Structure 1
Amino acid sequence: MTQGEMETVEVFTSEGKGRGLKAAKEFWAGDVIFAEPAYAAVVFDSLTSLVCHTCFKRQEKLHRCGQCKFAHYCDRTCQKDAWLNHKHECSAIKAHGKVPNENIRLAARIMWRIEREGGGLTEGCLVSIDDLQNHVENFGEEEKTELRVDVESFLNFWPAQSQQFGMQYISHIFGVINCNGFTLSDQRGLQAVGVGIFPNLCLVNHDCWPNSTVIFNNGNHEAVRSMFHTQMRIELRALGKISPGEELTVSYIDFLNVSSERRQQLKKQYYFDCTCEHCQKGIKDDLMLAVKEGENKPSPDAVKDVLQFSKDTLEKINQARSEGIYHEVVKLCRECLKKQEPVLGDTNIYLLRILSIASEVLSYLQMFEEAAGYAKRMVDGYLKIYHPNNAQLGMAVMRAGVTHWHASLIEAGHGMICKAYAILLVTHGPTHPITKDLEVMRVQSEMELRMFQQNEFMYYKMREAALQNQKIQVMPEPTSEASSGLFHTKQ
């Protein structure tokens, strides 16, 4: 974070919320309020040989550290940029004889930086690591047990020649990681690949209907390269007009839950009671729990039965997805939709969840026509619930647009791709790789739409030929991962 960017925000203390950030000047939708490099970051255990340990890009071939044989990098540049943070880790891994888990590795990287720079304020940081909240006092028995295990594992890994820290301070670092670790994504924003600590971001308070959003940008342009050697940063971006003195807020979790469930999730993961307007007034809850209206309005018992059936089916779907049995997923979705459609309203979250899964899996199986029908209904529901500039909404509309394109529904597909592009310009910015990909899709679909409007027959002939070398790609293989929140919580 540069000195100029620091002047765009102010730290303040509010009753009941603790510290937060407020805007020091006016912002408009899409403006970058501030950008921040990671204080420390690590790749997830499951992806250590697939993702660069410096820029967090997923690559086909990575170069391995010749000494520890653990760290992997895109090229010499990334390896050189990583050395300041990796050299102690490299020696410790060799001495320890094995690689510790991601939590231990992240704590160690934080400690080595504290050893190097001290635990107070560092350049570009509005708050010190020492002053970040750890919520250790709020831990339940299971979390306390996990903390003790982590501390013991850390002490076994931590070199004797490095600065020694007390048990209370080590516990503080693990507490900070537990409630403030930010999930890092790959270059296209489609897969969680690591976790990092961003002190300034930790100051931004939660609101279920926020005025800002956070995006991980591991950089494909020279401005980022010159600003941060690691080519990796988070950006806090405005979702609409923000006035000077207005508190900056982000949503720690997905909005697509009724207020009582969001509050329960926030209390469990982040240890606070949400008092935002949407939670206090239950705004949008009626849409998310909508049932069919009119003469055939279902009875409360019928609604209860269908909701329970939906929950049971979602569990079966998650199991089938984890095993890669996608035709079973489709079968379960169709059965569930058959029961839901006469009972649940078009914006009911249980209906929308099934529609989302069905459209994603059917697209992967290249059953595009059926997938497009479900995707359209899903998008129509999302547009009534989500903030108009919500990043998850933008990604969902993009996927629906691509599905329609594959189904030869070029008019609807182009419209959705344009809608998604408008959202992602705000939430991700024009230089983000996914926005660049979407711009290519938008131009291609616009060209095809013109051709379709001029001569349908020739359009389908040329489309058939173009598919041999198609530019618009099918979305990646579905996963059973739930939509993650803003911060990474230890599983």
Structure 2
Amino acid sequence: MTVEKTDPVEVFGAGLKGRGLRGTRDLSAGEVVFAEASFAAVVLDSLSLQVCHSCFRRQVNPHRCAQCKFAHYCDRTCQRAAWDEHRKECSAIRNIGKAPNENVRLVARILWRIQKHTGLVSDSQLTTLDMLEDHLSRMTPEDLKELKVDVKTFYTYWPKKSKAVGEDYVSHLFGVISCNGFTLSDQRGLQSVGIGLFPNLCLVNHDCWPNCTVILNHGDQSALDASFHSSRRIELRALEPISAGQELTVSYVDFLSVSTDRQRLLQQQYYFDCKCEHCVNGTKDELMTAVKPTEDGKQPSAEVVKQLTDFSLQALVKIEAARAQGNFHEVIRICRECLEKQDPVFADTNVHVLRVLSTASEVLSFLQQFQEAAGYAQRMVDGYMKLYHPNNAQLGMAIMRAGVTHWHAGLIEAAHGLICRAYGILMITHGPHHPISKDLEAMRRQTEMELRMFKQNEHVYHSMREAALTSKPMSVAGEQVQIKA
């Protein structure tokens, strides 16, 4: 599935931002502005054994390509669907004995497709790869050095039987994916698993408070009849009503940083100075750096704030290191210590507090310490809701996880409320047919049923819940019943 001519978008000159896309008619919140299949995409190196190289879903025991022994798939159906794209890659990997990094593999896939389709694979493709920015002239010496290493590796990997490609064009493509590559997530939207290139999406400019979001639809290769398959694609979805002629924007970075930090990251990674309204006005910066007044009603001194900020940054580094090592109890110890020091000084909208709350709630949930996790998750959601766009996908996912944590903690009223709130957001950002939305709808129905039971008789509800958690049948009115906990 690709962008159709009837899709309500057109390319226009966006001033200093170069080209952009705008709507040609009014759009409503949750509407799919366009969908676009990837020009090429690859699984990240670190997850090549765990993720399907066709649909990018995570799998417990994926099926391995018997020839290159590198690519993995959900099953033979996914493998057959991917063979046209994998065929030359498979041969190239076998020839050199191992797979190169994801950037080299992606550039090779792009070039094989260009040579097959001359770079324009559908009438609805609004730009060619030749016209996309590579920003090579603005790269740092370190970035250019890494790029040259990738170019050298590419020529080792590129089969001699394939059509020769000049070094300048190969370098151009590496530059294009560096600043235009789109990160692909797994089926739950919780982890980055791949990178792809979507030419039309590359035309959508950045805004820190965008009116659109991008969601990966993994497609469906499960049908035995290939005519019923749907391809992997991104969907550009409207977050709010958009008037005809208004520019379509997405955010290239997470909003949860002060404007100067977002601007610095955008300059480092995408080579432009963000002049969006939220950056120019520093919108919400005060909330993200908010502090609590002291007992005498005064603001804490700049020195105290700086010391605690430095401590928080150091603690976050230690937290990530402990997490990477799988030392989750150490993660929680540091989080508790950090929050104890932050609580008297920082407000709950302070980004340093929110980052610790997010990690603490997630790791405590993993350790099944749900009561404490729920408390941290609620504080995190309360802070997020004051900062994020009301239809932000990350906000919706965070609220969903908080709802599940409360559910596990037995706090059914709060759990149902959070899950309903998350459902309202994700219906806009993901749509009703996305696996996450379907899971959330099932949770919404389940918690609604449990909430009715809870309101009828709290004692019976908790008894049934305890029985479900211990896998023991519970007798009610002479019949054995079980609920999902």
Q: Does 1:153 align with 2:165?
A: no
Q: Among 397, 404, 429, which residue is 1:395 paired with?
A: 397
**How far apart are 1:36 and its partner, in Å?**
0.6
SS in 2 for 1:189: coil
Q: How does 1:412-451 map to 2 (within 5 A)?
A: 412-451=414-453
Q: 1:443 to 1:220 in 2, by over 3 A?
A: farther
Q: 1:338 to 1:258 in 2, by over 3 A?
A: same
Conserved? CA contact 1:401–1:416, under 8 Å:
yes
**How far apart are 1:49 and its partner, in Å?**
2.2
Structure 1 stretch displaced more, 161-170 or 120-129: 120-129
TM-score, normalised by the number of residues in structure 1: 0.92
Q: Does 1:347 align with 2:349?
A: yes
Partner Cα separation in structure 2 for residue 328 and residue 81 of structure 1: 44
Q: How does 1:462-477 map to 2 (within 5 A)?
A: 462-468=464-470
Q: How does 1:197-236 map to 2 (within 5 A)?
A: 197-219=197-219, 229=229, 231-236=231-236
Q: Size of the alignment, in residue pairs?
A: 472
Q: 1:325 to 1:2 in 2, by over 3 A?
A: closer
Partner Cα separation in structure 1 for residue 396 and residue 131 of structure 2: 35
The letter of the residue matching 2:143 is E
1:97-142 deviation per Cα after TM superposition (whole angstroms, max 9, x unaligned): 2211111111100010111111356443111111111111111111
Structure 1 stretch displaced more, 258-267 or 85-94: 85-94
* Map of 1:275 onto structure 2: 275
Higher relative contact order at CA 8 Å, sep ≥6: structure 1 or structure 2? 1
What is the aligned-residue identity percentage? 61
**How far apart are 1:26 and its partner, in Å?**
1.2
**How far apart are 1:4 and its partner, in Å?**
3.7
Q: Does 1:261 align with 2:261?
A: yes
**How far apart are 1:200 and its partner, in Å?**
0.6
Conserved? CA contact 1:36–1:198, under 8 Å:
yes
The letter of the residue matching 1:332 is I
**How far apart are 1:393 and its partner, in Å?**
0.5
TM-score, normalised by the number of residues in structure 2: 0.93
Superposition RMSD in Å: 2.0
Q: How does 1:16-415 map to 2 (within 5 A)?
A: 16-120=16-120, 122-219=122-219, 229=229, 231-293=231-293, 295-296=296-297, 297-415=299-417
Partner Cα separation in structure 2 for residue 121 and residue 442 of structure 1: 41
* Map of 2:477 onto structure 1: none
Q: 1:2 to 1:195 in 2, by over 3 A?
A: closer
The letter of the residue matching 1:426 is I
Partner Cα separation in structure 1 for residue 364 and residue 207 of structure 2: 34
Q: 1:403 to 1:461 in 2, by over 3 A?
A: same
1:216-264 deviation per Cα after TM superposition (whole angstroms, max 9, x unaligned): 11035999x9899463111000001001110000000000000000000
Conserved? CA contact 1:59–1:74, under 8 Å:
yes
SS in 2 for 1:190: coil
The letter of the residue matching 1:421 is Y
Partner Cα separation in structure 1 for residue 285 and residue 31 of structure 2: 30
The letter of the residue matching 1:405 is W
Partner Cα separation in structure 2 for residue 36 and residue 104 of structure 1: 23
SS in 2 for 1:199: coil
Partner Cα separation in structure 1 for residue 267 and residue 220 of structure 2: 37
Partner Cα separation in structure 2 for residue 7 and residue 404 of structure 1: 41
Q: 1:312 to 1:3 in 2, by over 3 A?
A: closer
The letter of the residue matching 1:234 is I
Conserved? CA contact 2:371–2:406, under 8 Å:
yes
